[in-house]
Amino acid sequence: MADLSGRTVLVVEDETLVAMLVEDTLLDAGARVIGPASSVAQALDLVERERPDVAVLDMNLAGETSEPVADLLTRRGVPFVVASGYGASGIPARYAGVPVLAKPYAPEELTAVLSRL
C-alpha cells in the first residue's frame, strides 16, 4: 500500500460503509482524513474550512451531483480522484483528465492513485 504520510485527504462519500472503508484505508496509509462528507453542502463547508492536499470524490451523493465540490477543488488547485459506480461514463466531460476509480475498487488502487496526485 502506498504511503500517504503527511497528506490531508478529503473524503466525499454518501455510502456509510464505503466511507468507513475509505477512511480506514487512508488512515492505515498514514493520511489525515477530512470528513467523510456525505452531502455537497457538508463537503463545501469542509473545503471552506480547510484545504486538503487531495480528495476522493463520489460524483453521485444520494441523488445530488458533487460537481460543485469538484469545481471548488479545481478552482483551489486541489487534485482529486473520482470514485464512481458508473466508471468514467458518469463523469462530466470537463473532468476528462481526472483519475476515476470504478467501484468496487481495492484499497491499494485508492492509495496508489492518491500517491500519484
Span 42-64, pLDDT tens digits:
999 999 999 999 999 998 898 89
The β-bridge partners of 93 are: none
Domains of the chain in sequence order: 8-116 (3.40.50.2300)
Kindly tell me if the per-residue pLDDT of 87 is higher than 80: no
Pick from 79, 72, 76: nearest CA to 115: 79
pLDDT at position 91, please?
A: 83
Helix, strand or coil, per DSSP, at residue 32: strand
CA distance 117 to 115: 6
Cα Rg of the chain, angstroms: 13
Kindly tell me if the per-residue pLDDT of 93 is higher than 90: no
